Homo-oligomer: A and B are copies of this chain.
Amino acid sequence: MPEQVQTLRRTPLSRERILRAAVALADEAGIESLSMRNLAQDLGVVPMALYKHVANKDELLDGMIDVVVGEIDPPVPGTDWKQSVRRRILSARRALRRHPWAPLAIESRTMATPAILAYLDSVVATLRAGGFSTDLAHHVMHAMGSRILGFSQELFDPSRQAGRSGATNPDPPAALPAEVAARFPHLAEISTAASHDGDTVVGQGCDDQFEFEFALDLLLDGIERLQRQGWSSSRRSHRKDQDEA
């Protein structure tokens, strides 16, 4: 009987349970309130108990990242490389948008958990299967870089105003505030552009998903062009500075 009471009172803790709780906590309360102490409390346990299952907080973060990366859909084998890579990347983006803390966490880590390496590896595999030379595949992976592979945030978002100056308005989320608009006229002009679907004109900012796919397709189309013409880094068409103008 006392045994039952105990087993009911708490499931016995484990690396999995800790990681899931940590991800949930970060999702709900933000990464900045993910402390060993808070996490332990959520699990109904004393902080030091966690250290029997994860070595330290960094290892905890690595584990959390692997959880998120594990949510990326596996590749679908039938399609051509472009479709396949495109789908995979959009899936990665979806996974990361479910866990807004993840991009920064990934970038701040020293590097590459096994799950991330596995993801990257499988993307390379798709390229190679699609006829890419190792050389081109190499550069393509670099070009996709952090942002396009699904990691990393959007930097360009003029609707978030500068940190300094008056703390007047509490939260007017759309369109950048008049003061900023005045100082940065080109940003102001830009920020109301982009009438995506019909022409709603002065919009609520812009469609992140559209922008992401715009950049993604810009790269994919360029890459396709290179691949079709058998690009190789040894006979490259660089040194832009003389063949232009």
A residues with CB within 8 A of B: 58-59, 62, 79-80, 82-83, 86, 104, 106-114, 117-118, 120-122, 124-125, 128, 133-135, 137-139, 141-149, 151-158, 160-164, 180, 183-187, 189-196, 198-199, 206, 210-215, 217-219, 221-223, 226, 233-234, 238, 240-241, 244-245
Contacts and interface: CB of A to CB of B under 8 A. Distances in A.
Given A111-B160, A112-B160, A211 B143 contact: yes
A187 B117 contact: yes
A245 B80 contact: yes
Given A112-B161, A137-B193, A194-B135, A244 B83 contact: yes
12 contacts: A104-B104, A107-B153, A113-B163, A118-B183, A121-B184, A137-B190, A144-B156, A146-B146, A194-B233, A218-B219, A218-B226, A222-B222
Main secondary structure of the interface of A (DSSP, over half): helix
Contacts of A109: 163
B193 A82 contact: no
